[in-house]
Amino acid sequence: MFNKVLIANRGEIAVRIIRTLRDMGIWTIAVYHEEDIHSLHVRLADEAIALKQKVDDPQAAEILEIAHATGAEAIHPGYSFGAERYDFARPVEKEGFVFIGPPSQVIRELNRKVTMLERAEQAGFRTPRHSDTAFNVGDMEAIRRAADELGYPVVIKARRGGRGRGVRLVRRPEQLERMVQSAGAEAMAVYHDSRIYLERAIYPVLHVDVQILADRHGNVIHLGERCSALQHHNQKIICETPAPCLSEQQRRQVWEMAIELARLFGYENAGTVEFLVEPGGEIYFSDFKARIQIEHPVTEMVTGIDLVQEQLRLAAGEPLRWRQQDIRFEGHAMQCRINAEDPWKNFLPSPGSLRRFRLPGGLHVRVDTYGYTGGYVPRVYDPLLAKVIVWGESRDACIGRMRRALQDFIIQGIPTNLPLHQGILNHPAFLAGRYEAMLTQEAGLNEPADEAHLRDLAVIMAVAYMRRHQAPQPVIPERLTTGWHRSARRLPQ
């Protein structure tokens, strides 16, 4: 096992990795940008080194320089863009460090999304209909022909995508060029590659992810599935396991398919196989994420397995510690992604100081965050501030615990999307597990408030009105009416 590990990431995932490393007795090395100097991961790490660049898009040369200088043996990329970049993982391997993730060659193959989908098709897996090549954004004639062949609506996806960035839904031909330019610009900014490909849109559709672990000795197991159908701006905001949208037959089917796909691509370490499920029951292989995901805590809650610790063991060459029959799934787990953004201002990011930050607690409640009272949300990073994860013996119990946890979570100083989550957790379609009947833009903000909520708002508004408009009444202190000050100044007679 390693003695020193460098975490090439920031925010809540860096905090989460540092805590597991400290549990294992491993020395931790953090990196940070100047805007993140007061972040919690900097305070928790054994060493912290400043970077010239943003931490969520690390350059191999500077990270490797720090690794050499600090004596690190391995580098954990978290779930940053470096986690799935061949041009980051390969130099780490060549310099003799252990990259805590799959081999760089596997990352390279999974980054070629069209080729990945074609290989899965040849192996007998159903995939969404897609273009047979990736396009430069300037090649609009070829893109139009491909879109016409697939039929509208189509989805534009980044060739090196995987985090919802560079994804656009195009419903009509006249929208295509504008969406292509927008998707390409975002893909270039995020992945340094503006090329895109097209898929025939499947709508409505459910998003199901299967967590897998694989060692270098050919052993592969799954740790169940997660339903991440509730998304906003192509980011998964609520995730739960087991997926309420699957039948038992479908559940076992996606488990088996995930293991077969992991073997097909020669995968190692922790990863996630993503599927699209039509309401009619058809299942499509969609993507393979060669990293740990933001939603991994829900899997940890129902299995009791620390996925970061398993990443480290697998990267060190150890064989899997479990067989598939050893894995037990207990109860239900759910995660809400708390972003520093204002739902009433088109989800505008809201950086700033955290004047008050009170975390929820209690049995089976976990919060992964870098925030604390007096902390700061930087303006240059993703607005993800915290993840609230709860466990319950049933889905109903889990939802009830999550409602209570969100009510306990106090964040003052910046707007967040907490109200969105509170609305979704009371939405009838969500309570019934019918994700296809919901849109997140509608679920949290347009629901009619109940009587108790309206009463509380009325009291708050009344108090605020009185404080703002109450004219100050001058008061003479009692001590000035006794005349003592006049007697004190009287000259002796």
- Do the Cβ atoms of 371 and 385 come closer than 8 Å? yes
- Do the Cβ atoms of 334 and 398 come closer than 8 Å? yes
The total number of residues shown for the chain amounts to: 493
155 DSSP assignment: E
Angstrom distance (rounded) from CA 378 to CA 357 = 16
Angstrom distance (rounded) from CA 144 to CA 147 = 5
- Do the Cβ atoms of 382 and 190 come closer than 8 Å? no
Catalytic residue among 291, 313, 337, 366: 291
34 DSSP assignment: G
DSSP per-residue codes, 231-277:
EETTEEEEEEES-TT--HHHHHHHHHHHHHHHHHTT--EEEEEEEEE
CA distances in angstroms from 77 to 84, 106, 293, 355, listed in the order given = 9, 16, 12, 30
H or E stretch at 206: strand 206-214
320 DSSP assignment: P
Q: What angle do CA 242, 248, 254 make, to 5 degrees?
A: 75
CA distances in angstroms from 263 to 52, 212, 221, 257, 308, listed in the order given = 39, 11, 10, 10, 21
Question: Of 214, 290, 322, 319, nearest to 259 (Cα)?
Answer: 214
10 is catalytic: no
Amino acid at 93: E
Which residues form the catalytic set?
291
